[in-house]
Chain A
Amino acid sequence: MKITVIILLIVTVLVMSTCRVFAQDTRNQQKISLSGEMGITYEYYGLDKSPETPVPDFYAPRKPWNYFRYLFNPVISTNKWLIPFNISFSPTQNNFLTPPTGRRQNLWEFLTNPANNFGVSPKIGTTEILLGTQTLKYSDLSTGDIGVFGYGVNLSPGRFRFKIFNGVSQRGVNYVSPLNFPPNGITGAYKRNQWMAQVGVGKEGVYFAGFNFVRSSDVISSVSSPPLPPVEPQQNMIVSFLTTASTANGWNFNAELGQSFHTLNLNDPLSVTPLADFKPFIKSHTSTVKDNAVMLGIDKKKKEWEIGAKFNYIGAGYYTAGYPFMGTDRMEYLLNTHFNAWKKKLNVVGSVGQRFGNISHLSGPQITTQIVANVNVFAQFSDHFTLNTSFNNYGFNAPGTSAYKSVSNELSLNPVYTWANSKMSNMLSGTYTQSRYDETIFPAPVTHNDTKTVLLLYVPSFFNSKLNPDFSLMWFHNKTQLIELRLWNFSGDVIWNLTKVFNLKGQLQYALSATSPFTSDKNLLTTVGFNWQLYKKLSWQFSATANLYRYGSELPGSSLTPVYPGEPQYLESSVRTGLNYRF
């Protein structure tokens, strides 16, 4: 509460000082400019199946029937102020990971729906006021992934750095049983409040050293019908020390040490034995845990080359509400490099790393290991011929009584040849990818999974024509001991520049895919659309797609209820259109 009052006072002082600045600027003939963009997009989705109501249902709709999204991102600039808006929203709820309300959203639920943004962050000098939805990244171990709806301020006078923000990262949603909201009901969620602050010293692009504090707490009283276990009200606090440094000769260094305090269930009793806590921010309950994490990185960048190394350790009990999906109980390193050679005609990017999992032995006595190695070589042999080669290796090994091992090797070659005459230029691109994936679930024998992909792409460009077509042919083959999948695809695209401000475009794609020993599935996909520059700053885009899919003998009509005499099929149609205005 006290902190809220302090924030409000800071904001009030800033607003008052702003008024004075405006008054002075008016006398000095303030110049106001507007940039940014605004727009609206609409998507229609339709699905027709033959038969209409098959059992089992062989294809489910994969998009909302109608979807609007509005975008309003102007940036107002004056002599002293910079006011960027970040507003993008959809009036309907399509939430999946976070629960929908199950009814029409009220204003607060609409504003705090994680799918939407309603943010403005006016900045004057070294002060930035943050209002509405903000996705603030303080560091890799504290917060940075989650959008929070609230208020705060960033101050950077001299070398002092201060940031603070308070808001809601998860709206409260009541539990609704499947009986009242078929078929699955609504899981529900507790409202999650989030405080975050950063205090430190720094110089832009040179160094920073400071502490991050992030506290998130679920509000038990935020729901009248609480979610059922295992969804419990939680509390989390992160304290991390972050330092970064860069030198003039290309060295960059960063280090972060973090400690998390996490309460799994606020309904559990307060702990009577000395357990991890961080009073007054966190009072330990019986389900409170404390763990640590470390991230280190160093690299050197020069004009023609770069080399770097990273090390991460995330403890098994490290949890941050700012990165709720972060994998834990792991330690890893990564070495990477990038260099140009042969008069910049050769470009090499490579990395190799290893990840160790289950290092706490929480999931068994054995540590898991994962190896990742990638190299990508791009070579320009002449003005006409380039070759891109990449090799990726992933290996994972989980030893023990229920051991598991997988190895993936993928090699890809992509030569591109271009040539031209006085009337046209041509590009012929080929891609060949061979991927082998071997998997062993002990004591079963190894399963081999071989995949080959070939793509030929031809792009002619006529200098005196308004038509720009391209054609591609693809072959895909995937084979395991049990299944063999083949796919052929032909695709043709064309862009027709009717005028300088209007172009039509179309795509036709036909695919045959077959899983042995069944007959082929057939797929025809066609798209038509246009781009129209209505005015200098206003553009309209339109695209309509029809996707007809007819099943082969893998899904015979006789296997459905009621029995269907022909070949089951579906027609998916979608229309996507958008107006965009650039200020």
Chain B
Amino acid sequence: MKIYVFVLLLLMMLGRNATGQVSLSLALNSRPQPWLAEWSNPVNGAMIITFMPGAAGGDPLVRLRTTLLNESQSAIAVTNMNNARIYNLKQGTNYFNIGDALQFQNLVFQGNVRALLQRTGRLAAGQYQLMVEVMNNAGDVVIARQTRPFFVTSYQLPVLLQPANDANLDAHIAQNVIIFRWTNLVPGGQELPEYRVQVFEIKPGQTAMQAFRGNRPLLDEAAPRGATQYIWRPMLPMPDSVANRKFIWTVQTLDREGNPIPTEDSAIEGRSEPAIFNIADKRALPQEPVLHQNLTNNK
């Protein structure tokens, strides 16, 4: 029995050698960018297809069939083979980016996943698998196949808590100590992020956002890793009437490597929606209560 199996395998190998040999290797970043349309970026990995024509030549024309599987091994997207691109492989090694392996334009997504992608361009956070099959030109024979797992992480930036947007701080306290607090990065994970607290002075004639976008920060310091509170010692003469008394602050969230947490607009560089605080001098101003509007600080 064993000898028959061996002979059969040998015949199959010889047959393949006669028509050429194709091998597939997926070098997929285990944490690729969450935006599937950006997978052609080299940071996400590469695909290598090696083509060695056999004695009888071999067909260099192939198509790719891609399947995305979720955590429970169910397919959430499959290539529409009718529109699959035909590749003409050159002899030897053929390099592709991982976006070519994904064929995002030609993937047919399941209902909920498709709706989320159309809204956000991203998959929900979780564990997935990318399965790529090299098919013959007709699309009916699998020549090579490889599956690689990957993990999608999608973050929600922290929300600033304190000082609340448009809060008035007492000058005599604020010149010594200001406590900043914010919510954590979601999801938290085991690798604690670094939060940098950044405070900008709003100069005369500037809007708050102008100061935020145009000025150098007065404070740009990291809180202890993972901590969502920072105690600032301003040591500024805040009761002085000449001093600036309007500030805008934010928290910049960086990952373990010190890179900003990715957001829709990369220019934001992981910065949360900023908040303004004012310095009030009790000697000059009547005492008036301040309505904190932290929840609706959208200008």
Contacts and interface: CB of A to CB of B under 8 A. Distances in A.
A88 interface: yes
Interface stretch (B6-14, B87-95, B121-129): B121-129
Interface stretch (B47-55, B131-139, B285-293): B285-293
Interface string B85-126: 000000000000000000011000000000011111110110
Given A115-B213, A117-B210, A392-B292, A408 B161 contact: yes
A363 B229 CA distance: 23
A553 to B, nearest CB: 17
Interface in B222-277: 226, 228-229, 231, 233, 235-237, 239-243, 250, 262, 264-269, 271-274
Contact of B186 (A398, A414, A435): A398
Given A113-B214, A265-B37, A368-B156, A324 B295 contact: no
Contacts of B242: 529, 541-543, 576, 578
Contacts of A426: none
Interface string A293-310: 001000000000000001
A113 B203 CA distance: 15
B146 interface: no
A140 B299 contact: yes
B37 A96 contact: no
A527 to B, nearest CB: 4
Contacts of B218: 62-63
Nearest to B34: A362
B183 A370 contact: yes
A11 interface: no
Interface string A321-365: 101111111001110101000000001110101110110111110
Contact of B214 (A98, A145, A321, A328): A98
Contacts, number: 344
A202 to B, nearest CB: 20
Given A351-B292, A363-B125, A493-B239, A137 B187 contact: no
A474 B175 CA distance: 11
B289 A147 contact: no
A363 B264 CA distance: 14
Interface stretch (A151-159, A238-246, A311-319, A560-568): A311-319
Given A290-B118, A545-B237, 17 more contacts: A39-B204, A69-B204, A94-B214, A95-B215, A115-B213, A287-B121, A291-B120, A316-B119, A327-B157, A362-B120, A368-B186, A372-B292, A378-B287, A437-B229, A451-B179, A493-B239, A525-B235
Contact of A487 (B154, B161, B177, B282): B177
- Which applies to chain B's interface (DSSP): helix, strand, loop or mixed? loop
13 contacts: A69-B203, A90-B203, A117-B206, A276-B118, A286-B104, A286-B105, A287-B35, A336-B293, A353-B295, A357-B159, A363-B153, A474-B172, A509-B237
Given A114-B213, A358-B186, A403-B188, A145 B292 contact: no
A388 B125 CA distance: 46
B214 A95 contact: yes
A453 B213 contact: no
Given A264-B38, A327-B159, A429 B282 contact: yes
Nearest to B184: A404
Interface in A487-502: 487, 489, 491, 493
B38 A287 contact: yes
A455 B172 contact: yes
Nearest to A521: B233
A372 B297 CA distance: 12
Given A269-B105, A394-B161, A476 B176 contact: yes
A353 B214 contact: no
B205 A69 contact: yes
Given A145-B299, A231-B266, A394-B181, A357 B156 contact: yes
Interface in B3-28: none
A334 B296 contact: yes
Nearest to A311: B296
B209 A146 contact: yes
Nearest to B123: A362
Contact of A137 (B200, B240, B274, B299): B299
A114 B203 CA distance: 13
A213 interface: no
Contacts of B41: 229-230
Given A272-B105, A287-B38, A349-B291, A527 B240 contact: yes
B205 A73 contact: yes
For the complex of A and B, the 4 pairs showing the least CB-CB separation, nearest first, are A115-B214, A88-B205, A376-B289, A287-B37
A253 interface: no
A386 B288 CA distance: 11
Contacts of A64: 216
A451 B173 CA distance: 13
A489 B37 contact: no
A404 B227 CA distance: 12
Contacts of B190: 402
B237 A289 contact: no
Given A62-B218, A97-B213, A402-B187, A386 B287 contact: yes
Contact of B187 (A145, A398, A431, A572): A398
